[in-house]
Chains A and B, each alone.
Chain A
Amino acid sequence: MSRYSAFSLIKNALSGHENWQRTWRAPEPKPHYDVIIVGGGGHGLATAYYLAKEHGIRNVAVLEKGGLGSGNIGRNTTIIRSNYMLPANTRFYEHSMKLWEGLSNDLNYNMMFSQRGVVNLAHTPGQMDAFARRGNAMLLEGVDAELLDVEEISRRIPGLYTGQNTRFPIVGGLCQPRGGTARHDAVAWGYARGADKYGVDIIEHCEVTGFIKAGDRVTGVKTTRGDISAPKIGISVAGNTSTVMKRAGIDKLPIESHVLQAFVSEPLKPLINTVVTFGAGHLYISQSDKGGLVFGGDLDGYNSYAQRGNLPIFEHVAAAAVTMFPNLARLKLLRNWGGIMDMSMDGSPIICTGPLPGMYLNAGWCYGGFKATPAAGWCFAHTIAKDEPHALNADFTLERFYNGRQLDERGAGPYPAHQ
């Protein structure tokens, strides 16, 4: 596998870009592996990479039912932050942030990780108090946070309407300067290339249709490309978790599948140089390097496996965008799409051993799983390799609901559509 560098770019330019190597192989599935990862999204690929790199487990297959990157890893709005309040979440997401900071070098693949800051707007004094509390909680955990007044916000984000002539005037905000965005496709491709380099087989167009069991123990998978066995099988299928787990005989989980939409506008000259979120409704917006504004908001709000959304959210999101940035009123949208979220009952993830022997589960990412990709892969690899969670994911259990130890970051109660 050749390294990417300025030199390789020049060399390949001189030969008309005809001689670039495949980024990862396309192997036939073998009958047996040490570990099978079901789901070739960001999390599955990162898990395989860290299994090989950190734990020396290289006889690994990642089985992906479609093409690589066709799931949520290629559908998200790429926001990365670690501005949580519950210690278990803060520590986990901060670990992820630190991995992001070294990821392009680690993978020798440009993630276009851009720490342009994430600014959450506040519209009431009560919200400002809550932000001050959150910021302090972050600082106590060693995470960066800045409380901004409205003058500072208006200085930093010139297009934002900060006047009083609106229903929810902005009174301030909370900024995490190290937050930002990354190129989502590069994350999938970079981890795939990194895992492949260690000998991991990435097998696309291979759907897991059932599980092979010996008693309760899961010993292999049935796929559209034949049966494959392994003593350890990790499930990392995001919005399809319930469907796949049903095939293993697990009929109920603390998860509902919901659709989240994303929107991209026609390209503009540089307008927004940070990530901004509206605090009186739900909208997050940033500008891609190609100039398009990338934004999204709430879930459509009802169980869905359709990778497309409906118009009411479209209208809501567009209204919030124009409220914040009135100069967008005549902007045209280029495209929109939806992705299926594995919404957990408390809004926090699950990375654990089980629920069956031989099985490991990574799920419940809601709409925050992109920023988690490095740490989720890192922790899931540890959990699979050591048969026990790392301290960073020890609280992300399936049993926490039963035990009354939910991580209800938003305080929304057991309503997945409201997380």
Chain B
Amino acid sequence: MIIKCPHCGPREASEYTYIGDATTKRPDHNDTDMDKWNDYVFLRENPRGAHAEHWQHTSGCRSFVKVLRDTVTHEISGVSLEGPWQVEDKS
């Protein structure tokens, strides 16, 4: 599997560390709603097919990237930066 890092270009997946599902949203720290926290920490859609997920390019530029990958074919349809460095797609 090859993931195209926005900084470093196409790199072997073993250069990256898998972080997990990118659709979960961390609740605000002052939020005490147990359902929201349970949802964030433990519950996953676990789709068969299109999956948005975070990887970190640990053996490269160390950026966190969001990868759109199919969980059956492993085909990657998009990679974008995550975090404060996230840039608007100019194309």
Report yes or no: A414 in contact with B74, Cβ–Cβ below 8 A.
no
0/1 interface trace, chain A 88-127, chain B, CB 8 Å (1 if under): 0000000000000000000000000000000000000000
Report yes or no: A303 in contact with B51, Cβ–Cβ below 8 A.
yes
Report yes or no: A305 in contact with B39, Cβ–Cβ below 8 A.
no
B41 within 8 A of A: yes
B44 within 8 A of A: yes
**Cross-interface CB contact of B44 among A253, A310, A402, cutoff 8 Å:** A253
Of chain B, the residue at the smallest CB distance from A344 is: B42
A401 within 8 A of B: yes
Of chain A, the residue at the smallest CB distance from B34 is: A402
Could you pull out 7 A-B pairs where Cβ atoms are within 8 angstroms? A242-B46, A256-B21, A303-B21, A303-B53, A306-B71, A401-B41, A417-B18
| Contact residues in B for A251 (Cβ distance below 8 Å) | 45
A-B interface, 8 closest residue pairs, ranked by CB to CB distance from nearest: A242-B46, A252-B43, A401-B42, A312-B14, A254-B42, A302-B18, A305-B48, A402-B38
Interface residues contributed by chain A, number (CB under 8 Å): 24
Output the residue of A253, A302, A304, A310 with the most chain B CB within 10 A.
Answer: A302
| Contact residues in A for B45 (Cβ distance below 8 Å) | 242, 251-252
| Contact residues in B for A242 (Cβ distance below 8 Å) | 44-48
Report yes or no: A302 in contact with B34, Cβ–Cβ below 8 A.
no
B87 within 8 A of A: no
Report yes or no: A310 in contact with B48, Cβ–Cβ below 8 A.
no
**Cross-interface CB contact of B43 among A254, A310, A417, cutoff 8 Å:** A254
Report yes or no: A305 in contact with B43, Cβ–Cβ below 8 A.
no
Report yes or no: B39 in contact with A252, Cβ–Cβ below 8 A.
yes
| Contact residues in B for A240 (Cβ distance below 8 Å) | 48
Shortest distance from the beta carbon of B83 to any chain A beta carbon, whole Å: 20
| Contact residues in B for A20 (Cβ distance below 8 Å) | none
Report yes or no: B74 in contact with A345, Cβ–Cβ below 8 A.
no
| Contact residues in A for B32 (Cβ distance below 8 Å) | none
A residues adjacent to B (C-beta < 8 A): 240, 242-243, 251-257, 301-306, 310, 312, 345, 401-402, 414-415, 417
Shortest distance from the beta carbon of A340 to any chain B beta carbon, whole Å: 9
0/1 interface trace, chain B 7-39, chain A, CB 8 Å (1 if under): 000001110001011000000000000100011
Cα A13 to Cα B46 with chains together (Å): 51
**Cross-interface CB contact of A243 among B20, B48, B53, B55, cutoff 8 Å:** B48
Cα A21 to Cα B13 with chains together (Å): 51
Contacts A252-B39, A303-B21 known; list 13 others, CB within 8 Å. Answer: A242-B47, A242-B48, A252-B45, A253-B43, A254-B43, A255-B46, A257-B71, A303-B46, A303-B53, A304-B74, A305-B71, A401-B43, A402-B34
Output the residue of A240, A255, A402, A417 with the most chain B CB within 10 A.
Answer: A402
| Contact residues in B for A256 (Cβ distance below 8 Å) | 20-21, 44, 46
